[in-house]
Amino acid sequence: MPSRFVPEPELRHDQPSRTGIVLCNLGTPDAPTAAAVRPYLAQFLSDDRVVEIPKLAWWPILHGIILRTRPAKSAAKYATIWHEKDGSPLLHWTQRQATLLRGWLGEAGHQLTVLPAMRYGQPSIASQLDALKQQGVNRILILPLYPQYSGTTTASVFDAVYDWAKTQRHIPELRFVNRYHDHAAYIDALAQRIEAHWRGHGRGEKLVMSFHGVPERTLHLGDPYHCESHKTARLLAERLKLNPDQYLVTFQSRFGKAKWLEPYTEPSLIALAKAGTQRVDVVCPGFTSDCLETLEEINQEAREAFLHAGGQQFEYIACLNDSAPWIDALSTIAQQHLAGWSTQREDDEALQTRLQRAKDMGAAR
């Protein structure tokens, strides 16, 4: 009878412990085409964490309506932000963050592997965990690029890790980062990003902090995302020395007819313009990488709505992306969660001595 577990690499008793990090983001289609968007959307909208509707009711809507009409519309939106050279902005920035994080940690004396992964699309979380295991990594830190915890995002990443673990006979030691919405280094990285924009472009009348929305019912069911988003906003405003009337917290990306977290971003921007606000600065603190939701939804659609309603100037402040303060913050967060795992570099002489000691102990047995 075949086993449900994948074959294990040959066990070597003298192999030193190795540590890896999987840097997890939401995901992206492989190309800005309907054919590529359709399987991506199917995977995303089939996740029970994302859509909490019984499959019997949801499946006909998803496969009979949404996956027939939405892929072409979404592909057209992706086409407006797709890089000719780098492809998907989300994938590009996540890969950059993984590369730079490994370098930052290396400078701090840590020898480990950092791989980027996508919850939906490629490279998948499972494939990157497989890659780490093939390299002999036996201790893995799962680091989602979601500062605020939500069942729709962070928990879904953990689900993917658990699903992978069910296929493994020998499961590596695992650690998970749940949140860092109030981490001082993350707040400071956001503040430095905004301050740098203000130095180069001046400062608007209102700073709009737009977070990704979730259905309001998730708040009443115990999801902490709403509260953590507001705490991030409050700490960021304090760091920037803003009065309550100088900033506004909103939520974007509403999907479907259910009530989502309010106030909604685009209607709020329209209301500001109609009330006489001439310039707004918009930042998306919950997104650590620029993507469709920031570059198209905010910097294109929301910009047009604000200007059409009478606003004069719309300034979009880029996500943290590969900025030095953000990579430094990621390094700080990672090192705190790696505590207790030996990841320090060994010189060649020390390594050979330890390996020889292990061989001698094996021979003595």
Confidence (pLDDT) at 342: 86
- Taking all residues of the chain, what is their mean pLDDT, rounded to a whole number? 93
* Predicted TM-score of the model (pTM): 0.91
Residue 110, token pair as written in the block = 């840590």
Of the pLDDT bands very low, low, confident and very high (cuts 50, 70, 90), residue 347 is very low
Of the pLDDT bands very low, low, confident and very high (cuts 50, 70, 90), residue 344 is confident
Q: Collapse the DSSP code of 82 into the 3-class scheme (helix H, G, I; strand E, B; otherwise coil) and give the result.
A: coil
Of the pLDDT bands very low, low, confident and very high (cuts 50, 70, 90), residue 360 is low
Q: b/e per residue, 22-38, with b = 16+ CB within 10 A? A: bbbbbbbbebbbbebbb
The letter for the amino acid at 353 is: T
Least confident of 4-8, 107-111, 282-286, 351-355: 351-355
Spell out the domain ranges in the chain: 19-179, 184-316
pLDDT tens, 254-311?
Answer: 988 889 999 999 999 999 999 999 999 999 999 999 999 999 999 999 999 999 999 9
Q: Is the separation of the CB atoms in 287 and 277 below 8 Å?
A: no
Confidence (pLDDT) at 79: 98
CATH of span 184-316: 3.40.50.1400
Q: Is the peptide bond before 263 cis (omega within 30 degrees of 0)?
A: yes
Confidence (pLDDT) at 269: 98
CATH of span 19-179: 3.40.50.1400
Q: Which of 262, 259, 238, 260 is nearest to 249 (CA)?
A: 262
Confidence (pLDDT) at 67: 97
Order the strands of the 113-121 sheet from edge to edge.
Answer: 113-121, 19-28, 139-144, 173-176
Strands (E), the chain: 19-28, 113-121, 139-144, 173-176, 206-212, 247-252, 279-283, 313-316
